Amino acid sequence: MEDNVLPKRRNGIIKAIVAVILILVLGGIATVSILRDRIVNYPQYQVSVIGQGKVSYQPDLATITLGVQIDKVAKADEALSQLNTRITSIVAAVKAQGIAPEDIVTQNYSLYPQYDYKDNISTVSGYNANQQISIKVRDLKNNPDKISQVLVEASKAGINQVLGINFDISNLEELKQEARLKAMNDAKIKAVDMAGAAGVKLGDIVGWWENVVQAPGTQIAAYDSGKGGAGGASYVPSTIPSGNQEIIIEMNVSYRLN
C-alpha cells in the first residue's frame, strides 16, 4: 500500500510544479506585453486648439455668364440661325472691349421644341434655342468699370440673359497661405494662454489640419430681360462694385502635453 502512496504524491508534486511554471510563464508573457505596449505605443496626452486667419482683398477678376434665349420659332434651323447670328454679334462686341478669345467659353447650347396644349392634345408650336457663354474680365483694379462696359456692349449686341457674375482674385493661393499662417499663429497664442491657465506644459506640435471657412466665389444675382426673341436687355447698371472681400481659414493644431 505504501508503494501506491509514493507515486501518487510524486505525481501531485509534479502537477503542482507544472502549474506554478505555467502561471509564471503566462505572467511573464503578460508583463512583457504590457512593457512592450508602454515602450512602443506609449500614451500621448494631447490637446487641440483652433486658430483663425483672415485676409482682406479686392477682386481683380470676374466671370460673367451671359445668355441668349430664342423662343417659339417656326422651324428648328431658323431658331438656330437666329441664335448663332446673335451670339456671333455678341462675341464680336465683347472682343472689341479687349476680352481675349480664350476668355470667352460656351457653357450651354440647346435646341428644343415648344408644345401647346389644347383639348388634352399637345402640338409643336415652335422651337426654342439657348446658348450661354462665360466671359472672364481681368484687371479690374486698373479698370473697375470694365464689367459694366462689357455688359453694355453685349446688351446692345443682343443678350437677353445675365445669369451671374462671380468675383475672384488672381493670387488666390498666396492669400490663402497668408491666411493659414495667421491662423497657425493665432492657434499658438491660444494654446500658450490655455496651457498657462490649466497649469500644464505644451510639448511638440503633433499635427494640424485646415478648414476653409470663406474663399472667393461671391455671385451677383441673375437677370433675365424676358425678351426671348426681341433683343437685348433693357437695363444694365452703370457700375458693379465688387467691394472688399475676405478669405477666412481655420487651423486645428494638436499639441502633445508634457
- Looking at the structure, tell me whether residues 178 and 164 fall in a common domain: no
Spatial separation of the C-alpha atoms in residues 20 and 11, rounded to whole Å: 14
- Looking at the structure, tell me whether residues 132 and 21 fall in a common domain: no
- Looking at the structure, tell me whether residues 73 and 159 fall in a common domain: yes
- Looking at the structure, tell me whether residues 124 and 82 fall in a common domain: yes
Asked whether residue 53 carries a pLDDT value surpassing 90, the answer given is yes
150-199 pLDDT, tens digit per residue, is: 999 999 999 999 999 999 999 999 999 999 999 999 999 999 999 999 88
Domain span at residue 37 reads 1-43
204-219 pLDDT, tens digit per residue, is: 999 999 999 988 765 5
Residue 159 falls within a domain, yes or no? yes
Question: Domain holding 109: CATH number?
Answer: 3.30.70.2970
Residue 117 falls within a domain, yes or no? yes
- Looking at the structure, tell me whether residues 79 and 202 fall in a common domain: no
Residue 244 falls within a domain, yes or no? no
Q: How far apart are the first and last CA of the chain?
A: 71
- Looking at the structure, tell me whether residues 182 and 160 fall in a common domain: no
Instruction: Average the pLDDT over 31-43 and give the result.
Output: 56
Burial of 208 (0-12, 13-18, 19+ CB in 10 A): middle
For the chain, give the percent of residues with pLDDT over 70: 75
- State how many domains the chain has: 3
- Looking at the structure, tell me whether residues 156 and 82 fall in a common domain: yes
- Looking at the structure, tell me whether residues 113 and 233 fall in a common domain: yes
- Looking at the structure, tell me whether residues 128 and 68 fall in a common domain: yes
